[in-house]
Chains A and B, each alone.
Chain A
Amino acid sequence: MRAVCWRGKKDVAVERVPDAAILSPRDAIVRVTSTAICGSDLHLYDGYIPTMKAGDILGHEFMGEVVALGNDVRNLKVGDRVVIPFTIACGACLFCKRDLWSLCDNSNPNANLLEKANGYSGSGLFGYSHLYGGYAGGQAEFVRVPFADVGPFKVPSHLADEQVLFLSDIFPTGYMAAENCNIQRGDTVAVWGCGPVGLFAIKSSAMLGAERVIGIDPVAGRRAKAREWGATDVIDPEEHDILQALDDLTAGRGPDACIDAVGLEAHGTTLGARYDQMKVATYMATDRPMVLRQAMLACRKGGTVSIPGVYGGFLDKLPMGAAFAKGLTFKMGQTHVHRYFKPLLERIESGQINPSQIVTHKYNLEDAPKAYKQFLTQRDECVKVVLKP
């Protein structure tokens, strides 16, 4: 089969590899019909995530048709059309039982590696480095899905691929970010980063009843997209002092909740951003937490900072004093995709949201190298890329 393989920093290639095969009785093999490139794939592309090996198959947003099943998978049939959560969950451990699927105890074969770094390991992930299990990803013709009696969700045939594909990651991720804000009547939510996750967070905040949703992004095309997706206001952080602008918009109170949908690779031209850039470039820091600092400073007293953006290591100069003094709540983590699948599918079916509107580019799988480059460099028009194997 053909698959998108990571070769090194800023180097991906479509290679011919052995077909995906069933390795254990709870596995399924899915023929991929649509797969997307995620913003977090760019962290891999840019070489920010350790323990990638040349030849690793990328991709954690994918869907398709079941073509083979292990002996223990009884809830699926060959031919079923399914979307697969990017987090792999066993369904039986304490965390799965408590609806905290991305914290599954039993799905990461390399849990001991993550334990060294983090104390405890979360679930395995598709196509996201050997720290997260080294599972082959879904940017391929076929993919092996472990714990297939728990993970894949069937989707109705009347919904197009692009309408349901994003249930694998970015829609639940944006939604969980908004849900974590515990939105009350009259609330203002500020969202840093109007990429795909930011857009779903904006839309979800509006669906959950926020009165005002503020989109923050230096790229004009993305600010325009944010307005289309329900942002009542947008701010260009390179034109305005972001703290001042948010204080003005909220009449001196600050946003009730701040969502950091950017994560470890924040870009910017301010002094703080340059400082982060320099520290990372000289290996003195692992992440560039400029957005998180702003969110902590901007948030109103007693508010919530919700972090769907990915952080990887140690963060420098976070204003913990401000967070403490203002009594902030922090919510973060990988998305519990399994928890949100059904309710969000219902929202799609009832027409409250049409996720396919996020797609700006469609390519054949062969064009993946070009698509990665474009997604990284042309942020203005390229918001979401879907690959067709």
Chain B
Amino acid sequence: MASTVLAVAAKSATNERSTARKMINALPHIDTNVSAPERAGSLAIGAALVGYGMSQKQPSLWALLGGAYLVYRGMTGNCPISQAVKFSTSDSTAPGTAVAGRHGTRVEHAVTINKPVADVYRFWRDFANLPHFMMHLIDVDTTSDGKSHWIARGPMGMKVEWDAEIITDTPNSLIAWRSLRGSDVDSAGSVHFRDRGPGLGTEVRVELKYDPPAGKFGTMIAKLFGENPDRQVREDLRRLKQILEAGQVPTTKGQAHGKR
């Protein structure tokens, strides 16, 4: 269940050890519990109510408050009243899945790596290696209970964090994981490994699904700023291949050149 853009932005803006951050973390988690059509409706009616309240000679306090509540509900997808009574109309909250069907962004890409399947699987299975080739990841910390904490760069300088658990782990064949409740980003991923035989390398097929804080709108904004998830995954897998095969990502950064 995604918390809202607001919470992620507030967390990114505050220092990790600051009192403000502690206060934000202490707040109850804000669930997305309003469905998309309902959010649009809330926003429209809320805006109309606020407009009506403002246009009266004697501004109506009730119309303003009620309107503001609906606008908040529409913009964030969170209804505090529904949350209090544990009611939800959002379709991203189906039990057992991190990201519901028809929801979020799905990216799929494959690469062939000229290394034995065991080497490739072992490298990926150590999640601490992932930030070496997934450029948007800052850090992945694996805790003793098999769960992991992920920190990533979001669009517009936002820092996004989530906890994940492994749901399938078949050595040299498949690793699948999903984010846990309370994540900034609902996400799920799997990577399939296929041994092509001696000297033919390993096929690596990655499928990622995630529901960014601002939903489809967030994905759209991210694309505007040049962050294309499809290309990002393709370049990530290219780096994985370069690290495993050549031991490094080729670079010319810092080399000599004449006047530009």
Contacts and interface: CB of A to CB of B under 8 A. Distances in A.
Interface stretch (A52-60, A188-196, A293-301, A338-346): A52-60
Interface in B201-260: 201, 231, 234-235, 238, 241-242, 245-260
A24 B256 CA distance: 14
- Dominant secondary structure of chain B at its interface with chain A: loop
A147 B112 CA distance: 21
Contacts of B256: 1, 3, 17-21, 57, 136, 140, 144
Contacts of B199: 97
A107 B250 contact: yes
B12 interface: no
Contact of B254 (A23, A92, A93, A106): A23
B229 to A, nearest CB: 15
Contacts of B260: 53-55
A92 B113 CA distance: 10
B257 A136 contact: yes
Contacts of B253: 23
Contact of A57 (B112, B242, B257): B257
A359 B260 CA distance: 33
Interface in A1-36: 1, 3, 5, 7, 13, 15, 17-21, 23-26
B259 A54 contact: yes
B248 A25 contact: yes
A134 interface: yes
B244 to A, nearest CB: 9
A221 interface: no
Given A90-B245, A97-B114, A106-B246, A136 B259 contact: no
Given A90-B246, A106-B246, A109-B250, A144 B255 contact: yes
A303 to B, nearest CB: 34
Interface in B44-100: none
- Dominant secondary structure of chain A at its interface with chain B: loop
**Which interface residue of B235, B241, B252 has the most chain A CB atoms within 10 A?**
B252
A105 B253 CA distance: 19
B255 A20 contact: yes
Given A24-B251, A106-B241, A133-B252, A54 B246 contact: no
Contact of A133 (B250, B254, B257): B250
A115 to B, nearest CB: 9
A236 to B, nearest CB: 41
Nearest to B201: A94
A219 to B, nearest CB: 32
A364 interface: no
A53 to B, nearest CB: 7
Contacts of B248: 24-26
Contacts of B231: 112
Given A92-B114, A94-B114, A136 B252 contact: yes
Contacts of B247: 26, 72, 92
A93 B245 contact: yes
A304 interface: no
A300 to B, nearest CB: 38
Interface string A29-56: 0000000000000000000000001111
Nearest to A5: B258
B29 to A, nearest CB: 39
A13 B256 CA distance: 15
A106 B259 contact: no
B250 A56 contact: no
Contacts of A108: 250
Contacts of A17: 256-258
Contacts of A26: 246-248
**Which interface residue of A56, A88, A106 has the most chain B CB atoms within 10 A?**
A106
A111 interface: yes
A135 interface: yes
Contact of A54 (B114, B235, B245, B258): B258
Given A92-B245, A106-B245, A5 B250 contact: no
Contacts of A21: 254-256
A79 B166 CA distance: 52
A259 to B, nearest CB: 32
A25 to B, nearest CB: 7
A146 interface: yes
Contacts of B242: 90, 106
Contacts of A25: 248
A124 B246 CA distance: 14
A144 B251 CA distance: 11
Given A97-B114, A107-B250, A146-B250, A136 B255 contact: yes
B258 A23 contact: no
Contacts of A93: 114, 245-246
A13 B258 contact: yes
Contacts of A54: 258-260
Interface string A150-184: 00000000000000000000000000000000000
A111 B237 CA distance: 13
Nearest to B252: A134
The 3 A-B residue pairs with the shortest CB-CB distance in the complex, in nearest-first order: A5-B258, A55-B258, A90-B246
Given A90-B246, A94-B200, 6 more contacts: A5-B258, A18-B256, A57-B257, A94-B112, A109-B249, A135-B252
Interface of B: 112, 114, 199-201, 231, 234-235, 238, 241-242, 245-260
Interface of A: 1, 3, 5, 7, 13, 15, 17-21, 23-26, 53-57, 72, 88, 90-94, 97, 105-109, 111-112, 124, 133-136, 140, 144, 146-147
9 contacts: A15-B258, A15-B259, A24-B248, A91-B246, A94-B200, A109-B249, A111-B238, A135-B252, A144-B256
